[in-house]
Amino acid sequence: MTMLKTRSTGFQAYFRTVGKEGRGIVLLVIVSLLLVAGMGSRLAYLQIVEGQRNRQLADENRIRLIPKPPERGKILDRKGRVLAGNSFSYSVFVWPMAAKKSNWPRTLELLAQILKVPEEEINHRVQQAGVNSPSLIRVAQGISQAQIVALEEHRAELEGIEIDREAMRLYPHGEIAAHILGYIGELNAEELEERRDQGYRLGDVIGQMGVEASYEETLRGTWGGQQVEVDGEGKVIRILGQKIARPGNDITLSIDLDVQRAAEAALGNRTGAIVAMDPEDGSILALVSRPAFDPNWFARRMSESQWQELQRRQNPFVNRALQGFPPASTYKIVTATAGLESEYFGPDSVLMTYSALNTGGFAFHDWNRAGFGSLGFAGALAWSSNTFFGQVARRIGPESLIDWSRRYGMGEKTGIDLPGEAAGFIPTPEWKEEVFGEGWYDGDSLITSIGQGALQVSPLQAAVMFAVPANNGYRVRPHLIRSTENPDKWRQSLNLQPSTVSVLRQGLRQVVTGGTGAALNVPNIAIAGKSGTGEDPPRPHHTWFGGYAPADKPEIVVVAFAENSGGGGGSVGGPMVLNVIQAYVKHNSSK
């Protein structure tokens, strides 16, 4: 205490001797020393304690990653021919971080003039990415040589604008196989938000339909990019490293381009669908839907004329091969199976046919209004007798028809690797009671037995149905990816009696040799099949034909469907099926 008191007294004496001005200087020195000590301790803390973190922040401010999108994988047909590939062209990008904000209005004006893209669209893309985005923002694809020259002439006024070569999706066959392949398009804001955690970025393209959508993860590839060092204004000083983008994987489809072309030509401008399939394992050889579209239109900026053309077509994005329609008399395959597998009928059963069956005060007519006399199951299929199959349905009851419809795969999706498939519909007594508040009548069984009424089956489901007699009793699962695995992976037995399969095959062959499918009775190819004409009042009726060949050892099933075409199934659908089968035989003669 004595020492402290003495020291305090000394300071007081000192201050009295130096005067007022001296005391101010001393205080300033003391404060300065305190400030220096504080700054030193803070500097030591930042360098020693927080040094690593601050170095990381500094690097993040001067090092940028310029991402590079990958090349999308190709889609090939079963023989290795390209159905969807890539071509290289030049695109224009805005690099917001490197563009001078004060010059942006003039830059935007020039870009819009040269690229023929509205200013609002370019500005929206940049704003969506953020004005400090380190990424290149694509604002135009597939620019012309004249546009490249114009951009280079204005290079001094276009800071932050880059021209780069990139892969663009190309569908070399135009509308061919459009509903199989689908198309790609840039992610919208909602899609980007949903997929951001999967590595997608602004400007990314994604499969929007068909195989492009189903196999997006396989086709898309992995992003690459350049790591660059930038100065305070965002200009690149040097490239630090580069990660090569990894292209997506190619996929090979079961589609045969030759058969696909033949199916496209056979359907022509009709609204409808054609499905060609290997009956042994469900491999799709061709699948056509009309109206269609050109997927190339979506791979780059669509023109106004292209957009207007799409508006004139009737639902071009609906894949009619996967949508349900009344199957008409093609469904008699199911009715025949249900009868032959029941306790009431056998392979030698014969029924008298009539001009009409009377039920509940209504006449259920045969299509020729006269009947066909006595027929067995094979003859009834050949002549497509309504009254024959109506009598079968009466005897076996609705439960059996419903059961065998489900066994054939109706009323549920086939599981094909395409989005947008409909399940179709099987009417039941429970459904009728719930919807109409009334029971199931005899007339409901009669109308269902010939594939009319509320029954809905897609052309693809019909192809699965025709494959059952073709492959001796197996229900197959259709698929588009080419498989070399055992066919048993793709099918299950319906456990039909051999006699049932035999009668079905006899009847379907007689359809062509002497029944409603005579248009397919040609030399050198033995074809079996079944026609159908589906009512759709007040519009013209639908027409169907399904067939397979060779009749003794089938390799291909073809189903043709023409929506509201009018005419008969044999005369409208039959020639379409014949053309597809002939193309298959021509291009696969060595099989």
Hey, is 584 helix, strand or coil? helix
Q: Is 589 a residue of the active site?
A: no
Q: Can you give 230-265 as a three-state secondary structure string?
A: ECCCCCEEEEEEEECCECCCCEEECCCHHHHHHHHH
**How wide is the angle at C-alpha 377 spanned by C-alphas 373 and 380, nearest 5°?**
50
Hey, is 190 helix, strand or coil? helix
Q: Which of 329, 384, 445, 565 is catalytic?
A: 329
Pick from 178, 210, 183, 207: nearest CA to 291: 178
Record the tokens describing residue 327, joined without a space: 């199957």
Pairing of strands 491-493, 528-536: unpaired
225 CA to centre of own chain: 29
State which amino acid sits at residue 498. P
What CA dihedral angle connects 221, 227, 228 and 230, to 10 degrees?
A: 100
Residues contacting 475, CB < 8 A, separation 6+: 407, 408, 409, 464, 467, 468, 491, 492, 493, 494
Return d(Cα 134, Cα 63) in angstroms, integer. Answer: 10
| DSSP 8-state symbol, 280 | T
Alpha-carbon distance values, 342 to 50, 99, 118, 365, 397 (Å): 84, 79, 69, 25, 10
The arrangement of strands across the sheet holding 63-68 comes to 63-68, 224-230, 236-243
Alpha-carbon distance values, 332 to 278, 382, 446, 530 (Å): 22, 11, 11, 9
Q: Identify each DSSP E strand in 113-235 by its residue range.
A: 137-140, 161-170, 184-186, 205-207, 224-230
Return d(Cα 334, Cα 375) in angstroms, integer. Answer: 18
Return d(Cα 137, Cα 122) in angstroms, integer. Answer: 9
What CA dihedral angle connects 325, 328, 331 and 332, to 10 degrees?
A: 170
Active site residues: 329
